Amino acid sequence: MFNKKLLLLLPILAASVNAEPVIQTEEIIVKNYKYDSKEGLSPYSVEIHSAKEIALAGSASLMDYLTQHTSLNIMPSYGDKSKPLIDMRGYGVESGYQNVVISVDGQRLNNIDQSSQLIGSIDISSIERIEIAKGTGSVKYGDGAMGGVIQIYTKDYNGYSLETALGSSGTVKKIANAGFKGKKFNLSVNATDDRHAGFSDRDVTGQKDNFQNKSQSAKLNIAASNDLLLNFGVSSSRINSYLKGPMTKEEFVNNPAQHSVETYNNYDTDSDKYSTGLAYKVNKKLNVTADYYYEDKIYNATRAYGSLYTKDYKGLNLSAEYLEKNYTISTGLDYFDGERVDTTNAGTTTKDNIAIYIESEFQPNWLPEKAALSAGIRQERVDYTHSDATASYSTHESLTAWDVGLNYVVDSQLSFFGNVNHAYQAPDIDRFFEGVYENWVWVRRDFNGFIKPSEVNTINVGVNHITQANKLKIVAFYSDLENEIVYINSTVGNGNIDNSEKYGLEIHDTYKFNNKSNINLVYKYIEAKIGKNSDGFIDGKTLPGVPKHSILANLQHKFSDQMQFNLSHTWKQRAFIMSDYANTNAQKAPAYSSTDANIDYEVKRFPQFKKVRLYGSVTNIFEHKNALQGYADSLYAFNFSRAWMTGLKIDF
């Protein structure tokens, strides 16, 4: 086991390697996070994925891209790719998604219950960039930002484009985009129809494990004056899926495509979102923004668990930013009103958040000229209510987040950074209930009382070494948790464990061989240790569902101005199965492994079009068998066979 103090010193030791005579620093801009900054000058750990990188990967969905091309640990949620389980920094696939905030154009995707974020409704070709900030974000985003923040920004279109793709297992994608620009406005419209006919055998009723997503979105920006920008947005998605149930270890090894004895469960998710906002430049130094959004969501799982939920989410974000030569100050107020109605059990549960925050980046006189500090604090109140035919309950929590960071630039190539972050997670509303079963058949949910919020202190230490030929980032972190929230299988309920800790090392390196070829390597080492509690958890055991080692290798080659090739391999070590907090079960969750390739070719024989692009991809070339394993002999197989897709995109 690595010594934790030594682990935090590794980035500093690595930086002692002599740098070659420099060239120039990275110019990627981190927008709308804490402040606009060059990536190499940020006082926190961040990875950025541009639209160009996303397109070159050839991934069929956003989940596939995040799985195969980022440092995140992601698996389908018991077969559901539209709402995957996301683990950042060792919080585990079972509930790690509740410890990371995901936003699209500033609007949170996190739910108030145990549903993971609905990223399946986002067309991957509509994404302008993805920013993954680790070990920070709690001041700006508050509740849930224990591991960090994933921010997704969509494109503003100009012109028209049509895209279609066909693939194995009945994969069909149809995408239309349109952008209209006037002197005072920009309107962007996207429509997507994405489906597959199923990767497994038919069940005993003849049903396939299929998926379909139909989504539409529109964004309108209006320049009301030179200093005032108005924005409006509307989107809808209709997702229908039939998901295969669990299989035994023997069934998985013999044939992961077989249907076992269970019929496939059907899930429908309908979501409608509306947003409006403004950005106003008061003067050269002061900017203010205001954004309001509303989401109406229906989740229908009556043919699986007898559940039919309707959810209403309302959010308001107000912020102001003041800019001076050697400092910036940002402050804001966030309000969120979440309600879920369980139409099956006739109960209504709410979770409401209201928070204020202030943060700043500055260069005080007592620091060296090349050093910059950042600091911020957030105060948040969370109110819960529940009422049904028999009783009503309510409680509230008052929570504080803070962050202090430092970046020191040695020269145009080398910089050090570090930050200390305090974050929290207020429990989701499902944590207050427990399932009641008769003969292993779900009957109802009973209220089991409120549980405590989880809190964490995280230390990040890192180094950036960036030249024209090579970009190296090394980050070490240590997180000390209090009241980590987990599902306790022995009591079929939820609870807290104390004194958990997580620590690890992340290495990102991109080396450019020449103007045509480069390689990207990501190595991640994580130790996630649980604490103890009255249910028999043993201090120092490993949190289930967290692979200790993972590696991503990505090779890109440009054959010509028209043709590019991408080859990648992702590997994640075996982990303890979700229920195995004692680390004694003989079965381990399978290691994840996938080798994927994509080729992209621009056709330049059609001058009547702006751009004509052909692409093709093959995933899991060597047909490694992958699965999410919850319990012994309970595996949910995914990405277990070779799959191909080919497509055409035309820009008018």
CB atoms closer than 10 angstroms to residue 490: 10
Nearest residue to 176 (alpha-carbon basis) of 101, 123, 99: 123
Strand partners, 376: 359, 403
What pLDDT, on a 0 to 100 scale, did the predictor assign at position 16?
37
- Specify the amino acid at residue 535: D
| Token pair 């224990």 in the structure block, residue | 146
CB atoms closer than 10 angstroms to residue 9: 12
What pLDDT, on a 0 to 100 scale, did the predictor assign at position 37?
42
> Which stretches of the chain score pLDDT less than 70?
1-41, 302-307, 346, 435, 437, 439-445, 490-492
Check if the beta carbon of residue 303 is closer than 8 Å to that of residue 8. Answer: no
Check if the beta carbon of residue 97 is closer than 8 Å to that of residue 144. Answer: no
What pLDDT, on a 0 to 100 scale, did the predictor assign at position 525?
97
pLDDT digits (tens, 9 = 90+) for 234-260: 999 999 999 998 999 999 999 999 987
The DSSP annotation for 134-160 comes to ES--HHHH-TTTTSEEEEEEEPPP-EE
Q: How many CA atoms lie within 13 A of 613 on its CB side?
A: 22
CB atoms closer than 10 angstroms to residue 80: 23
What pLDDT, on a 0 to 100 scale, did the predictor assign at position 302?
57
Q: Cα-Cα-Cα-Cα dihedral of 219, 223, 227, 229, to 10°? A: -20
Boundaries of every domain in the chain: 4-651
What pLDDT, on a 0 to 100 scale, did the predictor assign at position 45?
85
Check if the beta carbon of residue 199 is closer than 8 Å to that of residue 623. Answer: no
DSSP state of 498: B
**CA dist., res. 503 & res. 191, Å (int):** 42
Q: Hey, what CATH topology would domain 4-651 get? A: Maltoporin; Chain A (2.40.170)
The radius of gyration of the chain from alpha carbons, rounded to an integer in Å, stands at 24
pLDDT digits (tens, 9 = 90+) for 502-537: 999 999 999 999 999 999 999 999 999 998 777 778
Output phi, psi for 227, to 5 deg: -115, -5
What pLDDT, on a 0 to 100 scale, did the predictor assign at position 13?
37
Within 240-288, where are the H helices? 249-254
Sort strands 148-154 and 100-104 into parallel, antiparallel or unpaired. Answer: parallel
